[in-house]
Structure 1
Amino acid sequence: MGGVISLSMPAGALFRDENGEVRQQEVTAKAIPYYAWCHRGASEMVVWMPRSAENAAAAPPPTLANRSKVTASFVCPTDSLRAVNDGAEPERSADGSIPRMTWWDHKGTAEWIQYEFPEPARIEGCAVYWFDDRPKGGCRIPQAWRVLYRDGGAWKPVPKAKIDKPAANRWNEARFAPLNTDGLRIEVQLQDGFSGGILEWKLLEAK
């Protein structure tokens, strides 16, 4: 950390297992000075930490999405790639209460985001919740989007996919015949003069 003083302490974390049961595990929490986070000013920030399990929120159960590696053509330095698979359910496209991933400040460009699976899987679709902070913000739903899958190291468009027209405040789905792959990619064309982003991206595994 380049000489920045940090504090490490024992802590507990809640998570849900494959059956949805809440479990607790011991972890190490690290605190860093506010000014050292994303080039903030020399000021303070109050952080509330629950002191009991009853007041803590459990992490979502493991899924193929949250076990996958996430990469993108670009991500705003103040946003997070992990926002798209953290399991947080958006209430609306301008939901500022949960993390987000955006391509800000790229505007009107072609961009992409992808999952690299930990092991090959059989997929029949995906669902994405677009970030759109109108009327005052600079992000909008994309002009268009498509889905690609990885085949032998090459990215190929999913054949005969039924893809929802981009819409705000709801899940947008892409459905296709089940296929075996080790990765999925979304390509978007951003609207002219606007950027865009994603609040959550789910994978639909074939039964």
Structure 2
Amino acid sequence: NPTGTFIPADQIEAFLKQVPSNVVVVLDEAYNEFLTPEQQYESTAWVKQYPNLLVSRTFSKAYGLAGLRVGFSIAQPAVTDLMNRVRQPFNVNSMAQAAAIAALNDTEFLEMGARNNAAGYRQFTQAFEAMGLQYVPSFGNFVLVKVGADDDAGARVNLALLRQGVIVRPVGNYGLPQWLRISIGLPQENAVLIAALTKALA
């Protein structure tokens, strides 16, 4: 999902009620930690109610452990058994497991990251509005922004940013050739992106 949009709990539950019980539903909560407490929902309760549901989380985003490739899932035993049949053996090493446990206990880091992300989101959206750029309201650690009207706008602006040493993600492969997905960083990193984007669009 390149947009960062948020689906409310009532819509997810309405969907779950319509899915046949022989169809496994994977609820990917990779960006869950970026939601406010008011936006978050108790998906583990759904796992108890819907035996065909698997909820997945990752330590690659808010926890900052992308290089370790570690995450977890919550599901009823029958679905977990199916997952165990297809997963690779020794798929998570002991260092990654130890780091994940430590990360779960480091609530201070998680809260700091959420604050930085919220501030960076405001920094980006204010700049995009000042530049007259359309963007999709995001609930993740990135913003999807439209950088031009022509069909090669995303690729063209991406190349102009690369020439300035700034890496973003073109999303033409998602059918959005006029858009770029821009990750939120620290304030000074965001400022570099804003300056480079301003120059690329001049």
Q: Answer yes or no: same fold by TM over 0.5.
A: no
Q: Which has the higher strand share?
A: 1
**Please, what TM-score do these two structures have when normalized by structure 1?**
0.22
Point out the structure with the larger helix share: 2
Higher RCO structure, 1 or 2 (CA under 8 Å, sep 6+) = 1
